[in-house]
Amino acid sequence: MFEDRLANERLRLIAGPAPEEKPRGLGTVRFIAKCKGNAPEVLEKAKEVLKLINEDSYSDWPSLDRWHRILPAWFVNRCAPERSQEEEETLLVWWKSLTPEEQKKVEAEEEWTLSNWIYWFQPDNRQWYWWDGVPLDSNYVVIAVEVDAWPFAWGSLRWLFRAAGADDLRSEE
């Protein structure tokens, strides 16, 4: 089943969904990426990363060192430095001290480490698959992802688009 999802995602990353194709699970959720006049470029960079993840998800899951070599340097360099266990624990304590509103603001602005980001693409952790993306104009991209459950973790999608050059990514409500 996972391999089928990957194969279908790969085709959609290359050519978009087929006219007769129907999403699995609960369907699709749409997002809007706000860009700085470079929406087509942001979309292509995000798809470049997703294609590489898709290609390397069929075999044994690559090590973090290997992901550093597989993924484009522009993306890897945009990720935050890895943190020690002690730093992660300190961050968690701080995080829990924040109000829900403060947590939401931090989530929107946080720079992800590569290890934290790639975690969400492991087969057992994956919660969304690419469906489609189109630039509305030079400043906005509409993205649709296929999901199985609601709510779902989509911070990895937000970070992907921010790393690719978007100012922000918001769910379309």
Name residue, tokens 């609960």. Answer: 26
β-bridge pairing 27-34 and 140-147: antiparallel
Instruction: Determine phi and psi for 132, rounding to 5 degrees.
Output: -165, 160
Asked whether 169 and 161 are in contact (CB, 8 A), the reply is yes
Question: At 84, is the secondary structure helix, strand, or coil?
Answer: coil
With a pLDDT cut of 70, the percent of the chain lying above it is 99
Residue 40 CB: number of other CB atoms within 10 A?
Answer: 13
Amino acid identity, position 163: A
Asked whether residue 4 carries a pLDDT value surpassing 70, the answer given is yes
Q: So what's the pLDDT on residue 36?
A: 96
- Provide mean pLDDT across the span 50-73: 94
State residue 63's pLDDT score: 96
Long-range contacts of 115-122 (CB under 8 A, 24+ apart): 115/64, 115/82, 117/79, 117/156, 117/159, 117/160, 118/53, 118/64, 118/67, 120/153, 120/155, 120/156, 121/53, 121/57, 121/156, 122/61
Token pair in block for residue 88? 């992660």
pLDDT on residue 173: 67
| Spatial CB neighbours of 55, under 8 Å, sequence gap ≥ 6 | 10
Contact 168, 108 (CB under 8 A): yes
d(CA 156, CA 127): 10
Q: Assess whether pLDDT exceeds 80 at residue 1.
A: no
- Which tops the pLDDT comparison, 92 or 139? 139
Average pLDDT over residues 32-43: 98
pTM of the model: 0.92
Residue 32: predicted pLDDT:
98
